A and B are shown apart, each in its own frame.
Chain A
């Protein structure tokens, strides 16, 4: 069983109240940081911890913090990205709902490290009930002197505000989030300038995922080095994994990075295998925008080594036979699932969520969706499969923000690994309407 650094107390009755949270060691990191550490010390600990952004990109958090511009007399901001919208990902909601004070504690400690005096939590609008939980917790934190003027007598002031989105996946992209937070359409900004130089209202800003900010709490409490000891190589610490799809026990799990995928899917402490006694067909290990893996590449890499829950191991094999840890949205498909249907479904998602600002994404995602719709509904052609691959290549890398890549990769991977099934949809459209293709042959075993 993995150590739990974040959600150990998630099920303690009353843990959403300040008092109970404090009794279980809450706000210790604030005390430690504000009373015994300089902001630079905190940044240093986060750097030592090797923490990588938990929102999906996996960029080292300490490094991101050190890029923050600090011009004299200009306000800086920390913005928490709680716009969790990546299909397959629901860990941040779990964390905020169960442990609102953990996020607030992380926000205070992190804001102190960055010298931010006005910080924001931008939460997706659909999580309005979680926003209410956070609002209540923030009010408690103010009442108990953890927020506001002169926190714990340290001379450090911080105001923290939680504010909702309105239904837009794209606002999970940090510059779109900042636009939204300024009250505008969620159109991602051109970079440079990066938010670290010009962010919210033109001020230097750091945007971090909920889980990254929460992880700062154990890092400060136990030290960056201790945190770095957990995990393997450049995948340090623990990670929340959202498990969904055809599993016996889907849900949110905190794992130590380095756990084997085999153990995660089938282990008693985790998902306990595929639901209804079915077989595993495929898995998307890091949220809908990462490449899908066919069953023979899920628990083993192409080289035959055990696949582990780490940034490196899940990416082993590159786009040819690997995927990514991404946001930890672990989606499992059983043998009855139709890959074409699912690929179309995700393509529809990206077309729906494209902001429409740049042409490759606006036109390309919509085009892919329509071609996939035809393939799924029996009117596609073999040329359509080639066409999809070509549209893909023209979107990938050519868009303002990563949504283009996020839309392109899953389609490319699905065709790469399940071409037979796509072709079967063209060749036997009638049959494809009435039954599913089932498991594919494992070419590596043949």
Chain B
């Protein structure tokens, strides 16, 4: 085991652990946000740059600070490394910069976006964004398209995290969507008119950190904070059948995988509990499911009441 200090908290982790995962092991406030890294999908990370941290000392052997901020999701810890996240002014400023970049071409259509209330970009915007945009140019726009009959792609909202590409590569047998073009013209697309038709394609919706990929069976049906999540189970031949059903009264509005506080699909019985499209899209009758009990509300959700109201009072920037 090796020792690393993150925001004055000392943690012991296995060699090869990344800074981000070390922080997650410690938990709490010192965990950097991650928009593209997804621990259950090997190969993701490094792209969004929101998890940048300052390395104040590289290791006991070489205690020099690293000149640049580093992506905590893809930088392994060294013994004696000292990392600053919340305690670094540089991190705060530059993460704010990254959030501003992620928002310059974002439509800010939260009032009509299904992801609102559980959107990681919303959280980041709240914590690091400013109330006014400095972007005077015309925003980049795409028309929403159907990719398959159950999934809607709003490319306008996409931050190009590549997670859905990793899902298609790792969970399905043939990928039909990907990233086309480049630079600010880069887009998620099937290029040709094509449907993503695979039993596990719905997991793309769960891994999407923003509202770019949404569940067509749930679109515009309800705001997520009006729904009550229940841990539920069903007998399924394709997947574990362990899911979360989101209910209003006795009606099931949507089904998602069980996600942890970082928005990642949970590991159940040593397996990542991805759910199949049958469970996600077709089992909307309560008789399909055995309800286990109410689901704990995670830190990202506005359902945990009062979180933003209190913060807002202390943030005069947002009151303008």
Interface set of A (CB-CB < 8 Å, partner B): 168, 185, 190, 192, 351-360, 362-367, 370-371, 387, 393-394, 397-400
Residues in B with CB closer than 8 Å to A358 are 46-49
Cβ < 8 Å to A, chain B residues 46-80: 46-50, 52, 67-69, 71, 74-76
Q: What is the minimal beta-carbon distance from A77 to any residue of chain B, in angstroms? A: 22
Q: Closest residue to B94 on the A side, CB-wise?
A: A398
Contact B134 A387 (CB under 8 A): yes
Could you pull out 18 A-B pairs where Cβ atoms are within 8 angstroms?
Answer: A185-B182, A351-B184, A352-B183, A354-B184, A355-B183, A355-B186, A356-B184, A356-B185, A357-B186, A358-B47, A359-B47, A360-B98, A394-B97, A394-B100, A398-B49, A398-B94, A398-B98, A400-B46
Contact A356 B182 (CB under 8 A): yes
Q: What is the minimal beta-carbon distance from A67 to any residue of chain B, in angstroms? A: 16
Contact A367 B135 (CB under 8 A): yes
Query: Knowing that A352-B183, A400-B71 are A-B contacts, what are 8 other residue pairs whose CB atoms are under 8 Å apart, sorted by A's residue number?
Result: A356-B184, A359-B47, A359-B160, A360-B98, A362-B186, A394-B94, A394-B100, A398-B69
- Does B318 lie at the interface of the complex (its beta carbon under 8 Å from any beta carbon of A)? no
Q: What is the minimal beta-carbon distance from A107 to any residue of chain B, in angstroms? A: 30
Kindly state the interface size class of chain B when it binds its partner.
35 or more
Residues in A with CB closer than 8 Å to B137 are 367, 370-371
- Does B268 lie at the interface of the complex (its beta carbon under 8 Å from any beta carbon of A)? no
CA distance in complex: A190, B70 (Å): 11
- Does B17 lie at the interface of the complex (its beta carbon under 8 Å from any beta carbon of A)? no
Contact B184 A365 (CB under 8 A): yes
With A357-B47, A360-B98 as known contacts, state yes or no: A366 contacts B183, CB within 8 Å. Answer: yes
Q: Per DSSP, are chain A's interface residues mostly helix, strand or loop, or mixed?
A: helix
Interface-located stretch among B101-109, B200-208, B289-297: B101-109
Contact A397 B183 (CB under 8 A): no
Q: What is the minimal beta-carbon distance from B191 to any residue of chain A, in angstroms? A: 13
Residues in A with CB closer than 8 Å to B71 are 190, 400
Contact B102 A397 (CB under 8 A): no
Q: Closest residue to A355 on the B side, CB-wise?
A: B182
Nearest 7 pairs of A and B residues by beta carbon: A394-B97, A356-B186, A366-B184, A363-B101, A354-B183, A190-B46, A397-B68
Contact B48 A359 (CB under 8 A): yes
Residues in B with CB closer than 8 Å to A353 are 183
- Does B82 lie at the interface of the complex (its beta carbon under 8 Å from any beta carbon of A)? no
CA distance in complex: A265, B49 (Å): 42
With A192-B76, A367-B135, A367-B137 as known contacts, state yes or no: A359 contacts B101, CB within 8 Å. Answer: yes
CA distance in complex: A362, B46 (Å): 14
Contact A360 B101 (CB under 8 A): yes
CA distance in complex: A387, B183 (Å): 21
Our pick among B67, B76, B101, B186 for the contact of A364 (Cβ within 8 Å) is: B101
Contact B47 A365 (CB under 8 A): no
Contact A351 B76 (CB under 8 A): no
